[in-house]
Amino acid sequence: MEQDFWKMREPFGVLADSRETAARVVELLVRRKQTVSLAESCTGGMTAAALVSVPGASQVFENSFVTYSDRAKNRILGVDWEVLQKYTAVSAQTAAWMARGCREAGEADLALSVTGLAGPGGGTARRPVGLVYIGCSYGERTVVQEYHFQGGREEVRSQAAAAALMLGLGCLRTDE
Amino acid sequence: MEQDFWKMREPFGVLADSRETAARVVELLVRRKQTVSLAESCTGGMTAAALVSVPGASQVFENSFVTYSDRAKNRILGVDWEVLQKYTAVSAQTAAWMARGCREAGEADLALSVTGLAGPGGGTARRPVGLVYIGCSYGERTVVQEYHFQGGREEVRSQAAAAALMLGLGCLRTDE
């Protein structure tokens, strides 16, 4: 299953419905008696909402954090201030710290993090709107993937939420 | 404005679009240089996601919590265990504790809490599916309202998210 997992590092546009992916994540976690927590920035709770849509999610989902400001990322998830200053909030480094910090703050086995530029403002040529980093911490590993989503603010956010769940599913399957 | 506010204690079915309400909440908070945080149970992040949909929300929104399990309500928001055991998670008492605890944990001026039975299972004759308690802590006051929403799981949840934002708006306006 390793190959299947790494394939997902490629950016992709159209994603499976996030509720369907959420249902598969919940199913795998129920089977393993494990839990999931989330640290969301630009998605602002959309990923958690997709998880809670799954009947029976309460078996695997206890809590989740929306850390929208840098200060919240530091205070709640323990993301290092130097990391935030050096790499900015929208970076692979911050996504990794968020995922690891979320696993601890959320006392969960699997943690997903999302941080990105949803727009409409804030983009630059080097860091355009649609740039999103998603982190996953599970078992011994923390993985981060970079995405470039197209569309307006809501489209970027919903694609990011779906991608986070897909990454979580990929990490769970890698360990099967 | 007091009267306008108390009117909302009546249960109601159809609600204004939650994004529109979210935009008005953000607008008022920006003007007052104040912040908002959320403690969501059955809505699981939907209310936070509606807030983040508003451009400029970052000026007033730093963080938010999804506390789905009793344990998370106690651990993250400080909801008293005795309150959870005596009144259950879906109660006016728990909603009030969640709102107050969220204000502290989120270091916010305004805190909204949502806890309810979204179904499809878990309802009883006395406590039917659709029963939702929403709390708002702002200034010197913490207010809780009881709602009875109709519809399936997703409908109950989206109505609850919209009602939470409406209650927040009501509390902000009462203090105008």
Residue to mutate among B26, B51, B62, B113, with most A CBs inside 10 A, is B62
Count of A-B CB contacts under 8 Å: 114
Summarised one tens digit per residue, pLDDT across range B36-86 is: 999 999 999 999 999 999 988 999 999 999 999 999 999 999 999 999 999
**A64 → chain B, closest CA residue:** B66
* Mean pLDDT for the stretch of residues B134-163: 94
Q: Where in the sequence is the domain holding B127, given as residue range(s)?
A: 2-173
Total-model pTM: 0.90
Q: Give residue for tokens 């944990």.
A: B105
Number of domains in chain A: 1
Q: What is the DSSP letter of B61?
A: B
Summarised one tens digit per residue, pLDDT across range A18-46 is: 888 999 999 999 999 999 999 999 999 99
- Residue A73 banded pLDDT, cuts 50, 70, 90: very high
**Closest Cα to residue B102, out of B146, B47, B55?**
B47
Chain mean position to CA A160: 8
**A19 → chain B, closest CA residue:** B154
Question: How far is the alpha carbon of A57 from chain B, nearest alpha carbon, in Å?
Answer: 9
User: Distance between CA A164 and CA A111 in Å, rounded?
Assistant: 10
Summarised one tens digit per residue, pLDDT across range A102-145 is: 999 999 999 999 999 998 888 999 999 999 999 999 999 999 99
User: Distance between CA B75 and CA A79 in Å, rounded?
Assistant: 20
Residue A43, domain CATH: 3.90.950.20
- Residue B92 banded pLDDT, cuts 50, 70, 90: very high
